[in-house]
Structures are given as C-alpha cells and as structure tokens.
Structure 1
C-alpha cells in the first residue's frame, strides 16, 4: 500500500476552491498526497492569473465541466445541472486513470459538500469519503431542513417562500427571513428550482460522507453545530494555512497595493472587496465611488474587470483626479494579507463566508453589502449576533447612496466598541486552531483517519 492520496473536488467557483486549497496545503504538511481537480475552464484561468503553470506540492489536474468552450458559466442553474450530469463520469475516469499510472492510488475523495456528486462517486468505488462544507454551518442546517420547511408551509416545493414572518431553526440560532434563504435570493425561478433540487441531492450525499468538515468554529456557531451533530469545525482555515504557496485565484493579484498600504497610517484605510461574483449596475458603482470620495479616508478598492453590469468603466467624471492622493483601485488583491495589515480600519464586504472568516480572524469591523445566496445570513451574524459590523440601507430605487456610505463609515469608525468586539472575537476564534483547540483536535482526528 502506498501513501494516503486524496482527490480534492471543489465546486467550480473561486469561493469554493479557496478553502479546499487551504485544507489541501495543511494536509500536505502531514505527508498526505493531494490531487486537486479543477474544471478545464478554471484551470486555464488559474494558470493565466499566475502567468505560468502552478507550482506547489498540490498536483492540479482538470476535467471538462460539460458546458463546452463557448457555454455560459454565469448561468448558475444550467451550470450546476451540467456539473451534476457530466462530472461524475469524468471523475470516475480520472480516478481509474490515476490508479493505473500513479504509485499511490487514490485512497480518499474529499469533496466540496455542494458537489455531493464527488462523495457519490467515491461511495460507488468503495473509497474513503469526506466532505468540506465551505459556508456557514447554519446554512447547512437550513438546507438539511428543506423537507421540514416544505412540510411546515414555510416554502413550497420549488423553494418559494409562503410565509413572510421571521423563522429560526432552534432557540439558539439567529432569526431568518425566508425571502433571504439562499435559493430564494436567486431572481430566476428556473434556477431557484434547479439549485433547490441539487441541494436535496447533496443532502442524500451527505449521508454517505464518513466525515463532514466545516470551515467554521464552535464559538461562532454553537447553535448551528448543535443542529448538525455530524459537522465538525476545523476553521478558520485561512489562519491555519497562512503560508500556503499555491493560490487558486481566477484573477491576477496586484501585490503592489501592499507597498501602498505600508505608507498609510494605522487603522485608516477602508478596504472594499465584493468577491468573485457580485455585479453592480453603473448607478450603484458611481454611488459607491462617491461614497468613498465623501468619506475623506484612504481606501483600497478591488474593482474586478467584470464587476460593472454591461460596462467597462462607470467612474464619476474627474473621480480619479480627486482621489489620487488617497484612493487605490486594483483588479484583484491578496486579500488575506491585506486584511492582516495594520493600516486597515474596516472592510466593506459582500459577506461571502471566506471573506467573513478572514475579516473575523483579523479583528476587522465590517460594513455589509450582501449580493445574493448565503451572504444575507452572514450579514445577520456580523451585525445582529456578533455585533462587529453595520448594514447599509437602500433607497426606494434599491440603491445604496454615497451619503449613506459616508455616514455608515463615520458611525462604524467613531465607535470604538466595534473594534473592541472584533478583536475579542478574533482571539476566541483563533484559539480554536491553537494546540488543544476544538478545530485543531478535529483536524488531527481527521488526518489520523485518512492515514489509518
């Protein structure tokens, strides 16, 4: 028998690949061999972003996603459906090929839990199987409760909310608005139905996973972990893998912003980043620019090449000149390093789970700008439960205005309690990965199981 060899299968999106790559780098340090599966499309993007074939001890391989070269990968429903239909066969072939040519056969599949198909394939082949849930554990509890939500008349069988009062899954979890359920934030009804169906397929796959790991911690989500006893926290992964040498970025990082941050006073910079998926219409983009200008503070703003709906540039006229001495715009930033920089004062964030965990781990207060999916749930955690951030209010045309941005920045930064709570939460969260911490113990047990 060769060394333990894990095949890692993320859902093909930036926010899903990141925690699985962080976990992969940690496992490698424990002598476990890792083969990491991207789609051909994403493999190309990562290679282009790095400007070369990726180096590192993680071996990157790719399989087709069933969409074809010209297909639309931004259509979440069709894309997810194609993955479920097409990728199981491709994964099976890949495992067989590796087992014929590699000294170390695949001994375990570690799949993103939103890619339960990876768990299904491993079960079919009689290989060890584990899953990583990459979002808040409360979202997992919500998804596992879909049949009950339908029975209780909270949603119909397509996921559409029928009740409009707030609900909670247990007395120890936060209250949720059914219209903010992850699938209900998808505007296209057909996509909503596809996503709900896939979630229910994943629920069946979870039963077949021998380990269910979560990038979270008991202190952040005690109530949610009580609802999903099988789920074990091993987070925050971003802090465990501080020196990971292989990044799975779909855009090239602009590291020059770190030199610029070095020149800014401590706790002075507003960091603005909306992840890999958020799209802003030109009006909203302009109001954000105006808000940053009105704040009169230094800011580092990640403006993805595809962030503005239907346009390349929607900056207000003369904006660049007016903010030249204190504003810095980049296409993509090395976020973990940015958030740990002493000059950062606060984080205007879409509240994706990776960004939430990275902000918390660095004691940074938030201004929340959720876009879709699980981000509204994370916003509730940040503002209502942990109290380390504030929400923005939209006007009657659903726009967050520049004045609102300026006023919330002032409110957040003038109240020292936000920073104090953020630092306290940081300490409690980081304690989980120190020796003897619950995340550290869970990870240790998992590694022993992989090697056994």
Structure 2
C-alpha cells in the first residue's frame, strides 16, 4: 500500500493536544500522513497562534493536515467547565467524526487507514469499527492514571468507590490497586479533585463510557517509560510505553520544520531564552502552572511576594486569562514574566535550577527529560497523584504545602526553595533519571522499539 493516513484525535485541552501533536510528528517522521482533528474552537486557537508566530500552516498536500469538527458547545460557552465539555463531546462529536471521515473518503484523496484516539476520546474506536477502520488509544497521562481509570469498576466491586463514584465510609486512606504498584492516596483520585464534586463525577462517567471502548484495540500507548512506573506496567502489560513524547529539535526535514510548535493555544514568547542566557548556571526558578490553573488574587499575591522573598532570579509564566493585579510591594526585579513559554527549550537551558510546577504529566515528563528537579504545587485532577509520584517514588521533587485556608504562603515558598538549594541529593537523582528516561527514545530503547512496532503494524 502507499503512505498510510492516520487520523489523530486529541481530547479538547492543551495538555492533550500537545502530546498528540508530538506523537503525530513522530508518525510523520516515520513515513505516515496524519489528519489532526481538533474541535473548531481549539483549531482556531492553534491556527491563530501559528499565524502570530509567522509559521506557515501546513498546506493541503502536506503530510500533517489540521482539520476540525464542532464540540457541541455554543461559541461563548465556558470550555474550562470540564463536565459541560464532556457532556457536549459525547452528544455531538461521534456523529461529527463519522461525517468528517465520510467526507474525506468521498473526496477520495486520503483514505484513512487508522485512528489514534486520546484515551479520553476512545469512543472514536467505535466510530472506526462502524466504518471498518482499526485504532489505538494514546494516554497523555501516567500509566498509573490509565490503570486507575481502567480499575474503577473493580474499585466499585471491592467497595472502595461507591456507585455514586465517591469514596465509601470504609475506604482506607491509602490503597494499592495491585501489589506491584505504589500506594495511592484515595483522596487524590483525580475525579475527586476537580472543583465541585458533581464536576468530577460527570467527567468520570464520561471517561468510564470511553473506557468501554478500550477492548476494541490491542494498542494502549502511553507517554511514560519503564523506569518511571515499573510496577504499574508489570500489572497492566497491555500498556505500551512510548515516552517521553518530546518535540523533535532536528530541523533537517522541511516538512516538519513548519510544525515545530504546532498545537499551541497561545503564542510562545521566545524573549525569555536570551534572558536565560544572561543568568548564572543553575540559578533560575522556572515557575509555570500549565493551561488550567487559576489563582485568586490572594494566592497570586502570596506567590508574587514569595518569589521576591526567595531573592533568586525567576522566570514566571502567567497566562493572559489569569493575570491578576500585582501586589504593590512586589518588586520582581530579579525576574522575567511571560504569558507562555517554549517550555521544552526553557527546561533544557543550563540556567534553570528547578521547576515550580502544577505537576501536569506533560510538564513532569519534560522536567524529567531535562534532569530538572521539581517543587510540586498541584492544582487539580491527576496532578495530586503525580506530585506523590515525583516526591515519594522518584525522589526528584519537594512538595509545597498549603496552610489551613488552602493557601500556599509566601514563607512556605521561600522555605521550600531554600530547602531545595540545600539538598545535595535531589539534583544528582534528577540527572541520573534523565539518562534512563532519554535512553528509551534512543535507537534500541523500549519506547523507540514500541513506536517502530506500531508504525510497522500501521504500514502492514
């Protein structure tokens, strides 16, 4: 057969679009064509951030084509309301996806041979089955979170989770899904940490609906590596590690050169790179909380004044949609503030000392791949489990604690930064882990071989 065409379908959030885009670029590098399907709302954001950057959006003939379908929400609906988004996706997108595929096939230009769906969009495998197209799921979160989702029916059966998806009165504070896996704090289950209890439960109901389609594929791909989650991968060997999913930095291929930062919802501010060049090696705190975290004015003040108190240079990412008034005492003269950063480049810069992070899995993988230790300040969802993993299992981070009012105080931030700079073990641990993690994507590494196997299967 000719060049195979893969349809890639990420969940409609920045932390899902990024790894799916990186994976798509890897498929392109390995001789596939990709049709990348965003929601219309996110498609506009991605295209507009590329235009601001002056990147040419890939043309019709290109190997990576961006297309879109509606998410079922009105133009002014709040897409950060996860429950509302999931309900709309489930109602609207399966039909829209089927129609998109039929339209593509009727034009006869690119017959779709395979679908790669985000774990949170696994219903797409049913759409594929209807039309006779096989598929795979890609989990942009950890294997532990994948396993937790997969195990919810068992947890309900064992009386750990009740039928309303809350914890039962007899649930232990810490459980093991399997003897080989690290303990999990039941209060950290991702759906219990999404704001309103009803929000998390609605999201989990949607995800359990997605999980019903997992059996339609043998290919459960995950952005992780064997060293990071050995016990989990031995418990569910069906999960294939293909991580770390990192953007290619080789500019040989002109086709891929245009796609370097495709998939970003916001334009990256590269001025921070020359600022980093002026800082001493291992001196800068990189402070970034991903695409969802929202701070109120009080927490924003404590964070600002905490950064001043550390008396160290900092690079702080504050999204436009979370810009609060700076407290009048905030000096900030040691810092640089940007609205969105080229994170992988930043983390690989020798000036970076540590990463003050929300512990999203993409950020975690990028930090690990660059040997950068973490100061962990999770916001919601799976980030609480990730913090425990970073601090207790991998031992490459320190947790930042909230006070009794749920606020991280300026003094707490200063204390943890000082503790980090006085810790002689954390940096060597991070550097050692970086070597192991990166070996996976080098020729002959586990993730490299798994990806090759996958591409070979598509081509056959």
> Do 2:359 and 2:386's aligned partners in 1 also have CA atoms closer than 8 Å?
yes
Q: 1:313 deviation in Å?
A: 2.4
Q: Deviations over 1:356-400 (max 9, x none)?
A: 000000000000010111001110110000000000121111111
Question: Which runs of 5 or more residues in structure 1 are unaligned?
Answer: none
Partner of 2:57: 55
Length-normalised TM-score, structure 1: 0.96
Alignment CA distance shift 1:54-1:70 (3 Å): farther
Pick the aligned partner of 1:269 from 281, 284, 292. 284
SS in structure 2 at match of 1:251 = coil
Question: Which runs of 5 or more residues in structure 2 are unaligned?
Answer: 252-258
Partner of 1:317: 328
SS in structure 2 at match of 1:156 = coil
Task: Tell me if 1:304 matches 2:319.
Answer: yes
Q: 1:216 deviation in Å?
A: 0.4
Q: 1:131 deviation in Å?
A: 1.1
Task: Tell me if 1:278 matches 2:287.
Answer: no
Runs of 4 or more, structure 1, over 3 Å off, are: 239-244
**Superposition pairs of residues 41-440 of structure 1, within 5 angstroms:** 41-51=41-51, 55-56=57-58, 57-162=63-168, 163-238=171-246, 245-307=260-322, 312-319=323-330, 322-324=331-333, 326-440=334-448
Q: 1:55 deviation in Å?
A: 2.4
Q: 1:192 deviation in Å?
A: 2.2
> Do 1:158 and 1:192's aligned partners in 2 also have CA atoms closer than 8 Å?
no
> Do 2:224 and 2:243's aligned partners in 1 also have CA atoms closer than 8 Å?
yes
Counterpart CA distance in 1 for 2:237 and 2:345 is 33
Larger mean Cα displacement after TM superposition, 55-64 or 9-18: 55-64
Aligned residues: 445
SS in structure 2 at match of 1:217 = coil
SS in structure 2 at match of 1:219 = coil
Q: 1:419 deviation in Å?
A: 0.3
Task: Tell me if 1:3 matches 2:11.
Answer: no
Q: 1:124 deviation in Å?
A: 1.5
Q: 1:247 deviation in Å?
A: 2.2
SS in structure 2 at match of 1:329 = strand
SS in structure 2 at match of 1:306 = helix
> Do 1:159 and 1:192's aligned partners in 2 also have CA atoms closer than 8 Å?
no
> Do 1:2 and 1:104's aligned partners in 2 also have CA atoms closer than 8 Å?
no
> Do 2:147 and 2:232's aligned partners in 1 also have CA atoms closer than 8 Å?
yes
Counterpart CA distance in 2 for 1:412 and 1:369 is 14
RMSD (CA atoms): 1.5
Counterpart CA distance in 1 for 2:25 and 2:247 is 12
